Copies of this chain bind each other. A is one copy, B any other.
């Protein structure tokens, strides 16, 4: 494929399978790494081996950490009765960067999808229902993406647990720093409907 030595070719081929990279950008990345061998290639290989050996999914919430029960689930002070439901670990990290939410999380691992045959069992929804009782949850915050699948999943979960706990969702509106001219009509409509006194 590249006329490069076998191992380099294999490395490019595996790199190209990462999301966001294709064959061309994988070639560029690999050449860059070879040029910066001590700064990039060796540290990356070492870190990947470490992460492969230590990373595990939290058995309780689905977060990625180094223990069977992650730091957030282990922290007593985060058991404040609030549970934030997210699609993916990346969303959990995004919420944590915000730094405002002090409760615990539940990572679904995707959204319901009739097309891809993803049902509630595939999504840790039974586990979510168990946790509500087991951890004395009083409010479930649905922080799912504002896509059709995300919102379908949110409605399904609200139907399942709405009798037992308060269910809320993230506010919709104009992003901080956002310009109206660049926003879609749906967001502007939602922001107008949810307007508040200044």
Contact = CB atoms under 8 A, between A and B. Distances in A.
Interface residue tally on A, bucketed by range = 35 or more
Nearest to A93: B2
Given A45-B45, A93-B3, A40 B14 contact: yes
A5 to B, nearest CB: 5
A51 B19 contact: no
Interface in A1-25: 1-5, 7-8, 10-11, 14-15, 17-21, 25
A49 B43 contact: no
A194 interface: no
Contact of A97 (B1, B37, B49): B1
A159 B26 CA distance: 36
A19 B29 contact: yes
Interface centre among A34, A48, A64, by most chain B C-beta atoms within 10 angstroms, is: A48
Report copies per complex.
2
Contacts of A50: 7, 11
Contacts of A64: 4-5, 8, 31, 34
A146 to B, nearest CB: 18
Given A41-B51, A45-B49, A93 B19 contact: no
Given A1-B97, A3-B93, A7-B55, 19 more contacts: A3-B97, A5-B64, A8-B51, A8-B55, A11-B47, A11-B48, A11-B51, A14-B40, A14-B44, A17-B40, A18-B40, A19-B32, A20-B20, A28-B90, A31-B88, A31-B89, A37-B55, A41-B48, A45-B48
